[in-house]
Amino acid sequence: MPQDENLSPATLAAQGLGSAAMPHRDIVPPIHVATTFERDPDGSLPGGRLYARDASPAFDPAEALLCRLEGGAAAALFASGMAAASAVLLALKPGARIVAPQDMYWGLRGWMIEFCANWQLTLDFHAGEGELAARLQVPADLVWVETPANPTWEITDIARAAELARAAGARLVVDSTVPTPVFTRPLALGADIVMHSATKYLNGHSDVVAGVLVTREADAFWARVKTARAAGGAVLGPFEAWLLNRGLRTLFPRVRTAAASAARIAGHFEHHPAVLAVLYPGLPSHPGHDVARRQMDGGFGAMLSLRVRGGEAAAREVAARVRLFRRATSLGSVESLIEHRAAVEGPGSRCPADLLRISVGIEHTDDLIADLEQALAAAAG
């Protein structure tokens, strides 16, 4: 691959940065399974590696590509998105104060509450930009943002959050799982660290659990994050890392196809008689649409939610009646998924009871629309 700084991110992803493994010049990277690396007689490590829990060559291709796509200084793969997020919290010091959104990925929110209580960290929630500004009148150490955020796809203005975080002395971390680097580059907007559940779009095939962090600066905080990975041991296995590399090659066409389809589905059902509301940041009716148009480049993602007329029972009935959509949690894969989100989140959920969360895959849009149409009709009938 030519060393051209102007190559499109889609090109870099398609060729995995164009690396070729020696000595055979393999077009795709090999699977690196070694756990340990040989020393020279003088005790040095000519291969530059000590032990695979610290830094395995298996991590290199995906870390290098994601670092480049996010425009960061360094990247670290983890055994899951949750492992990546927890490494950030583990890197904080005692007494740290965290400000996080009221609505965000449910599993992470629950763990944050428990962890912060156990470790005497202060955790304050905010319900939107006005409240974020108010919470950041007091100094903080970490601001957590997810945009578009589960399960209503609320949008946070990353550049504004970065300003507020900086003024409060805090680091800004953005969970960018949903938009992916195809549509949003949080570091360029002022974030300090970007996090992904690579289980979702980055791998894209529902066959790897993985996470990644990319940092704008390889500073002392990042060194503590890396220590949390090496010591906590939440590292990705070689085969999973290899599958992730393979998934990343098609990131751009997968995500663009799914997002274009999601936009058509959102528009189609917005005024449907059986639908109370379609929540999708690409719709002008979505409260975050204007900010999303500014900060998302080329699309609004492939996640949307339908609020079904008739409440929880009707929503559950629609989910029961789909034939093509798969009833499963998770998102970001090539097959379309649907779930009654409040049931998945369980007691204490803030998700509306009539909400169906939809992850649009890459099937033909007409088939997906027809399936939802027949499910809505069957549920109403």
Ligand X SMILES: *Cc1c(COP(=O)(O)O)cnc(C)c1O
Cβ partners under 8 Å of residue 2, min gap 6:
none
Q: Determine contact, residues 307/275, Cβ cutoff 8 Å.
A: yes
Choosing from 53, 160, 224, 256, the catalytic residue is 53
For residue 66, what is the enclosing H or E element? helix 60-70
Minimum CB separation of residue 209 from ligand X in Å reads 5
Q: How many residues are recorded in the chain?
A: 381
Question: CA-CA distance, 253 to 108, in Å (whole number)?
Answer: 29
**Annotation says 157 is catalytic:** no
**Is 256 exposed, middle or buried (CB count within 10 Å of its CB: 0-12, 13-18, 19+)?**
middle
10-18, 129-137, 195-203, 249-257 -> range binding ligand X (CB under 6 A) = 195-203
Minimum CB separation of residue 317 from ligand X in Å reads 26
Question: CA-CA distance, 17 to 31, in Å (whole number)?
Answer: 17
- 266 closest CA partner among 289, 247, 243: 289
Choosing from 103, 105, 226, 307, the catalytic residue is 105
Q: Does 247 engage in binding with ligand X (CB under 6 A)? A: no
- State which residue, 12 or 255, has the beta carbon closest to ligand X: 255
Choosing from 141, 157, 175, 371, the catalytic residue is 175
3-state secondary structure of 51: strand
**Annotation says 105 is catalytic:** yes
For residue 358, what is the enclosing H or E element? strand 355-359
Q: Does 179 engage in binding with ligand X (CB under 6 A)? A: no
CA angle, 27 then 238 then 245, to 5°: 40
Task: Tell me the sheet residues that pair with 125.
Answer: 100
Q: What is the DSSP letter of 369?
A: H
Q: Does 80 engage in binding with ligand X (CB under 6 A)? A: yes
Residue from the set 16, 61, 72, 81 that interacts with ligand X by CB under 6 A:
81
Q: What is the 3-state secondary structure (H, E, C) of 325-350?
A: CEECCCCCCCCCEEEEHHHHHCCCCC
Number of residues that bind ligand X (CB under 6 A): 17
- State which residue, 81 or 288, has the beta carbon closest to ligand X: 81
**Annotation says 175 is catalytic:** yes
Residue from the set 52, 143, 208, 209 that interacts with ligand X by CB under 6 A:
209
CA angle, 151 then 190 then 69, to 5°: 75
- State which residue, 83 or 99, has the beta carbon closest to ligand X: 83
Please give the residues from 96 up to 125 whose contact with ligand X meets the rule CB under 6 A.
Answer: 105, 107-108
CA angle, 209 then 214 then 218, to 5°: 135
Minimum CB separation of residue 264 from ligand X in Å reads 23
What is the number of other CB atoms lying within 10 angstroms of the CB of residue 191? 28
Choosing from 109, 171, 200, 254, the catalytic residue is 200
Q: Does 82 engage in binding with ligand X (CB under 6 A)? A: yes
Minimum CB separation of residue 79 from ligand X in Å reads 8
39-47, 58-66, 79-87, 243-251 -> range binding ligand X (CB under 6 A) = 79-87
Residue from the set 147, 156, 197, 215 that interacts with ligand X by CB under 6 A:
197
Indicate the residue whose CB is closest to ligand X: 81
Please give the residues from 360 up to 379 whose contact with ligand X meets the rule CB under 6 A.
Answer: none
Q: Does 177 engage in binding with ligand X (CB under 6 A)? A: yes
Minimum CB separation of residue 228 from ligand X in Å reads 15
Q: Does 146 engage in binding with ligand X (CB under 6 A)? A: yes
> Can you give the C-alpha Rg of the chain in angstroms?
21
Please give the residues from 295 up to 334 whose contact with ligand X meets the rule CB under 6 A.
Answer: 331
**Backbone angles phi and psi of 96, in degrees to 5:** -65, 155
The DSSP line for 126-146 is ESSHHHHHHHTTS--SEEEEE
Residue from the set 157, 175, 192, 345 that interacts with ligand X by CB under 6 A:
175
- State which residue, 12 or 83, has the beta carbon closest to ligand X: 83
- State which residue, 174 or 376, has the beta carbon closest to ligand X: 174
Minimum CB separation of residue 327 from ligand X in Å reads 17
**Backbone angles phi and psi of 305, in degrees to 5:** -125, 145
Query: Given the rule CB under 6 A, which residues bind ligand X?
Result: 80-82, 105, 107-108, 146, 150, 175, 177-178, 197, 199-200, 209, 211, 331
Catalogue the active-site residues: 53, 105, 175, 200
